[in-house]
Structure 1
Amino acid sequence: MKPRITYFEKITASPEALAEFLASIPALETPWDGLFQRTYCATCSAENCDAENCPHQAERNSPAWFLAQEVAER
């Protein structure tokens, strides 16, 4: 008999699997959006910086980028 895995095991099998799962959830505001804003947008000098013109497009709306960041001390 083939071993059965849980959804938890499947989505936490790797950072990439977790990021893919998180990206599939429709959400207007996410933790990675807030961190992206603080990390890049707060000091960005680009004009009309929307999704198409963002110089940090690879990190924008990216759970994978967020999961790779170090947790800030509070």
Structure 2
Amino acid sequence: AAERAADQVIRMNIIAARHFNAGLRTIFLSIGYLGWFIGPYMFMASTLFVIFVLIRRQFFSEARRAIMDHLQP
């Protein structure tokens, strides 16, 4: 019973983390969209900056490095 409850908590935590990350991406991209009010070049620059930040958070973060180190045999 305890293992089943732990599995449910783990699944729920994974789902919550996915929704949290999707929400953060939405907020970041909306910040890039605000550049449109200044002009098209600022829109492109702010969008590229936000994409750079998102790529860095997704693939080059300390948290990812810690998980990947743990998964290495």
TM over 0.5: no
Normalized per residue, the structure richer in helix is 2
Higher relative contact order (CA 8 A, sep 6+): 1
Q: TM-score, normalised by structure 2?
A: 0.30
